[in-house]
Amino acid sequence: MSAETVTISKLGGQGDGIAYDADGPVYVPFALPGETVSIARVKSEGTLMSIGTPSPDRQEPACRHFGPDGVNGTCGGCTLQHYADLPYRAFKRQLVIDALKSKGLTPEVDELFAAHPGERRRVVFSARRTEKDMLIGFSQAESHHIVAIEECPISSAAIVARLPAIRAVAKAVAINAEGFRISVLETLAGLDLAVEGIKTISDKQRRAVIDTVLSLRSIARVSFNGEVLVEPYKPLIDFGGIQVSPSPGAFTQATKPAEDAMAELVVSHVGKAKRIADLFAGTGTFSLRLARIGRVTAVEADEKALASLDSAARNSQGLKPVTVERRDLFRRPLMTLELKHFDAVVFDPPRAGAEFQSKELARSAVKKIVAVSCNPLSLARDLAILVEGGYRITRVTPIDQFLWTSHVEVVVALEK
């Protein structure tokens, strides 16, 4: 390990500062463009020791767990709390522009839909029992060390206020020092906790969890590896006025404002389409809203998520028919002949994107497509396929729902 002084040229895709020397790039977490910093270096990785010339865009971090001066952050949940709002948002927008440009795409990109503190309704905590206490928090960056938290400015007030309750449930389920995860979702009925990472659970633990939850009255449900342990209240989330009861640990958008913004863009572009396919539909984030416009075919591989969507559609008034199909779209995408039945297609795949599905769409005659993605790089690949197949990008909107990180969502509208 050697100590040296470097000047940061730019931020990389993960939010690290990047300096350059004769050997190539050096990655320095928590450093900002234009700063001269002292680092302890191992090959291409630099640990920030001190800042000689701070950037005018450096700000005081919002959370004490990030690090007292924004230099040596401890909690691994956020990486960019030290970056002022305007340049931070410009950085995220530029990530999308650069990803599209890497595939030869140069559409106009909207300003970033901004995230704000206190909006996160879905948080995944790390947990572990120690000799003295029950640790609940986030893993330190590139480490298994759990930083116990007492505050979390990105999370909703309901989650932060119930940290003692979450800790109590964790204590009831943990019998040794084995680490595990607790996914926390704020719902209309209370918190929905999904415990994962523990291999087995005894009857004694089950009883302890049930007794703990019934005494708290702020927890709607606790599940263990997908199995419901106790459910005093049915968890409910709202998709544009339609209530859905998600399956344990089901994927939901991390913030309600971002979800609403994405849904508004999707619905607006689909317009008056009569027949709509929603691919990678999940629990119905878009499907149920789209069913107010036209007939929807919702395709999803997760059987439990699909069941939640189907139940909500059947029990809601004012919707056009919703048909559900369980299907692994990575292995078996909707083929061109199947796509001919639809006027519009929406797809929102996992980070890997929808390469095979995009190839089928590119050969189709579907008039309108909306691509939603949490990974600008895989999205750019899929968009390039669609553009080569005759589609025109009409709008690109980056959306921030993972505040103070390098993750950015994107909604793209296309027409044949």
Tell whether 59 is in a known binding site: no
Q: Find out whether 282 and 350 touch, Cβ atoms under 8 Å.
A: no
Residue 374 bears catalytic tag: yes
Candidate list 63, 78, 152, 374, residue with the active-site label? 374
Tell whether 205 is in a known binding site: no
CA distance 357 to 354: 5
3-state SS record for the chain:
CEEEEEECCEECCCCCEEEEECCEEEEECCCCCCCEEEEEEECCEEEEEEEEECCCCECCCCCHHHCCCCCCCCCCCCCCCCECHHHHHHHHHHHHHHHHHCCCCCCCCCCCECCCCCCECEEEEEEEECCCCEEEEEECCCCCCEEECCCCCCECHHHHHCHHHHHHHHHHHCCCCCCEEEEEEEECCEEEEEEECCCCCCHHHHHHHHHHHHHHCCEEEEEECCEEEECCCCCCEEECCEEECCCCCCCCCCEHHHHHHHHHHHHHHHCCCCEEEEECCCCCCCHHHHCCCCEEEEEECCHHHHHHHHHHHHCCCCCCCEEEEECCCCCCCCCHHHHCCCCEEEECCCCCCCHHHHHHHHCCCCCEEEEEECCHHHHHHHHHHHHHCCCEEEEEEEECCCCCCCCCEEEEEEEC
Tell whether 355 is in a known binding site: no
> If you search the block for the tokens 């709008």, which residue do you land on?
395
CA distances from residue 410 to 94, 112, 265, 337, 378 in whole angstroms, order as listed: 12, 9, 10, 28, 11
Beta pairing class for 344-347 and 275-279: parallel
Tell whether 253 is in a known binding site: yes
The catalytic residues are 374
Known binding residues are 253, 280, 300, 348
Known binding residues for S-adenosyl-L-methionine are 253, 280, 300, 348
